[in-house]
Amino acid sequence: MTGRNERVVERAARATLHWTLRYTGGVDPTVAGRRQEEILSDLHEHTTWAAEAGISPRATARSMRARMLRGIPADLDWRRAQLSGREGIRWSLPRVDGLLSAAVVMIGIVQVAVGAFIAARQVRAQMIDDIAFVPNAVAFTIALGSVALVATALLGPRRTRHWGSAMLAVTGVLIFAQSVEALYHLSATALVVIIGVPWLEPAAYVIGIGVAIICLAATAQWATPARRIPAASTASLPAGEEPR
C-alpha cells in the first residue's frame, strides 16, 4: 500500500513536470532549463515538507495538482513574456482568485434566478388554469435552483466556498437544460421556439458543462488552503512568481 501511495505523488509530480515541458517549449533552452530545474526543486521541497508534516501521499498529490492548475495562468504569462521579450499581464494568485470569485458568484446568482423564474411561471400557469400539475422538469429545476441558493450562500465563508463551487458545478450541468424542458410545459411561446430550434437543449447542456468547468476550477483553487503550501517552496520559484 505504501508503494501505491508513493506512486500517487510521483504521478502528480510527473503531470506537473510534463506541463512544465509543454509551456517552456520553444523558449530559449537555457531559460527553459532553468525554469524546469526550479519547478523540479519546488516539487522536491513540497514532497519533503508534506512528508515531514505528516500529510498523506494522496493529500500531497491533490495539493500538487491544485497548485499546477492555479499556476497555469502565470505559466502562460511567463511564456508570453519570454517569447515577446516584454512583461505581459501578471496573473497573480489574488487576481485569479478574485476573477474566479466573481465568476462563481455570478453563476450562482444566475442559477438561483433560473429556478425562481421557473417557479414563478409554474405558479402563474396554475393561477390561470393553464396547467393543473407540476411537471417533473419544473420540480427538478426548482429543486436545482434551491440547491444553487444554498451553494451561493456557502461561497461567503472562506472555509466553505469550495463546497459551494462544487455544488454549483453539479447544478450547473443540469439546470439550464432542465429549464428549457420546463418551459416546454409552461410557455406556448417557448414551445414554438423549442420545436423550431431542436439544438436548443443540447446547447443548454454545453453551457452547463462550461459553467461546471469554471466552478470546478474554483473548487481546485479553494480546496487547498494557502497555509498547506510549504513556505520553503517559494524560494525555488522564479523572481516575481506567485507560490502555487
122-163 pLDDT, tens per residue? 888 888 877 778 888 889 999 999 999 999 999 988 889 899
Average pLDDT over residues 34-63: 89
179-229: pLDDT as tens digits:
888 877 776 666 566 566 677 778 888 889 999 999 998 888 888 654 344
pLDDT value, residue 222: 82
77: exposed, middle or buried (Cβ count in 10 Å: 0-12, 13-18, 19+): middle
pLDDT value, residue 77: 84
- Could you give the count of Cα atoms lying within 13 Å of 25 in the half-sphere of its Cβ? 6
Please say whether the beta carbons of 82 and 230 come within 8 A: no
Nearest to 184 by CA among 240, 244, 141: 141
- Could you give the count of Cα atoms lying within 13 Å of 18 in the half-sphere of its Cβ? 8
The set of cell numbers assigned to 113 is: 434566478
pLDDT value, residue 4: 62
For residue 23, pLDDT beyond 50: yes
Between CA 142 and CA 159 the distance in angstroms is 27
pLDDT value, residue 154: 92
Between CA 99 and CA 92 the distance in angstroms is 11
pLDDT value, residue 93: 55
Nearest to 183 by CA among 130, 220, 127: 130
Calculate Rg over the CA atoms of the chain: 23
Backbone phi, psi, residue 24, to 5°: -95, 0
Between CA 57 and CA 48 the distance in angstroms is 11
CA-angle at 209, arms to 20 and 78, nearest 5°: 25
Cα separations (Å) of 236 from 38, 67, 161, 181? 5, 14, 30, 53
Between CA 115 and CA 99 the distance in angstroms is 25
Cα separations (Å) of 39 from 33, 42, 55, 219? 10, 5, 21, 23
Summary mean pLDDT of the chain: 80
CB atoms within 10 A of CB 158: 9
70-111: pLDDT as tens digits:
888 888 888 888 887 654 444 455 566 678 888 999 999 999
